[in-house]
């Protein structure tokens, strides 16, 4: 079976590596153009080292790009961490269509920041879906799904790197085997229970101190490691990482620093406290919370604000 991998970064690289280890016939790789002055994408580097043709389109709607794809005579396209819009004709041109990895239990959490939103919205379970893309945003029929628990201490980073990344590679390899054996299902997604959230960036990452302790804790975990949930102190944007929920009754108004120690800063919130162990500021970068507090002269009683 002639396979084309469309993807990027470490996930694309490890997908290609796993396919080659299984002896699959990967005939081409599509990955984003190189960034000026930046390192080559690891997927591109691995493909080049194995003498696999690499195409780096600026736009997939370009007719010449589609012609190069079609000339590869693909039986299957595999989308492994794709941020570009891929027209449906790419899927239709492959004998068996295309499969795509998505880090949620579809149809819940469609969109680019599925893991973030699962944590931010207080979900207790998440997982991954391998589905057949149909040109919509994460709307195609389901091939397989795998679930995992979201533990109270999990962050977006821990879920992805410890679970959903390696599980995703295994699921793609498993899906290819199912397709080759003619036993890969196409289960229509139900619109009941479907959600679609926007990208998790600074437009949504700001902390609302009027929310409950658990909600704020989930927000910080969901934005960790990127983009970092943030608030303002003395006019400077401060991002929070490595948070812990401390259920004691808060002695101060929400957003107020109630303790500074070697373990971090304790911030009062409604029905509890949040211990923040690491922070990042534009001027100092990422530091332990107590170290930045010392550098900035923060004291107990200082209060984070919604706006600068």
For residue range 233-257, list pLDDT tens digits in order. Answer: 999 999 999 999 998 877 799 999 9
Q: Of 160, 281, 175, which Cα lies nearest the Cα of 230?
A: 281
Kindly state whether residues 221 and 176 are assigned to the same domain.
no
CATH number of 245's domain: 3.10.25.10
Share of the chain above pLDDT 70, in %: 100
CATH code for the domain of 31: 3.40.50.170
Residue 306 banded pLDDT, cuts 50, 70, 90: confident
Query: Are 174 and 217 found together in one domain?
Result: no
Where residue 37 falls among pLDDT bands split at 50, 70, 90? confident
Number of domains in the chain: 2
- Identify whether residues 99 and 230 lie together within a single domain: no
148 and 12 together in one domain: yes
The range of the structural domain enclosing residue 71 comes to: 2-180
207 falls within a domain: no
How confident is the model at residue 48, as a pLDDT?
97
Same domain, 24 and 140: yes
pLDDT at 308: 86
**173 and 48 inside one domain:** yes
Residues 160 and 14 in one domain: yes
Tell me whether residue 38 is in a domain.
yes
What mean pLDDT is reported for the chain?
96
Together in a domain, 104 and 240: no
pLDDT at 50 over 80: yes
Same domain, 65 and 169: yes
Q: Do 19 and 160 belong together in one domain?
A: yes
Is this structure's pTM higher than 0.85? yes
One domain for residues 122 and 14? yes
Question: Residue 61: pLDDT above 90?
Answer: yes
């Amino acid at each position: 079976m002639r396979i084309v991998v469309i993807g990027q970064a470490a996930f694309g690289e490890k997908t290609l590596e796993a396919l080659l280890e299984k002896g699959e016939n990967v005939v081409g790789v599509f990955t984003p153009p190189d960034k000026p002055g930046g390192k080559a994408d690891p997927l591109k580097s691995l493909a080049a080292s194995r003498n696999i043709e690499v195409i780096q389109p600026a736009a997939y709607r370009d007719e010449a790009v589609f012609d190069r794809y079609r000339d590869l005579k693909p039986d299957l396209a595999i989308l492994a961490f794709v941020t570009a819009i891929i027209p449906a004709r790419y899927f239709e041109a492959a004998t068996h269509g295309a499969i795509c990895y998505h880090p949620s239990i579809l149809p819940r959490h469609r969109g680019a920041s599925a893991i973030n939103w699962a944590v931010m919205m207080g979900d207790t379970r998440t997982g991954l879906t391998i589905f057949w893309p149909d040109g919509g945003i994460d709307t195609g029929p389901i091939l397989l799904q795998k679930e995992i628990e979201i533990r109270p201490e999990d962050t977006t980073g821990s879920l992805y790197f410890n679970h959903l990344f390696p599980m995703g590679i295994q699921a793609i390899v498993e899906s290819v085997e199912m397709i080759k054996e003619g036993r890969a299902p196409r289960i229509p997604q139900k619109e009941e229970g479907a959600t679609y959230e926007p990208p998790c960036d600074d437009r949504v990452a700001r902390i609302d101190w009027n929310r409950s302790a658990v909600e704020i804790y989930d927000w910080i975990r969901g934005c960790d490691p990127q983009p970092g949930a943030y608030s303002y102190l003395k006019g400077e944007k401060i991002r929070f990482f490595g948070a812990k929920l401390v259920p004691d009754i808060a002695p101060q108004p929400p957003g107020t620093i109630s303790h500074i120690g070697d373990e971090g800063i304790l911030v009062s919130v409604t029905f509890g406290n949040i211990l923040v162990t690491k922070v990042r500021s534009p001027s100092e970068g990422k530091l332990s919370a107590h170290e930045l507090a010392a550098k900035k002269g923060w004291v107990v009683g200082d209060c984070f604000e919604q706006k600068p």
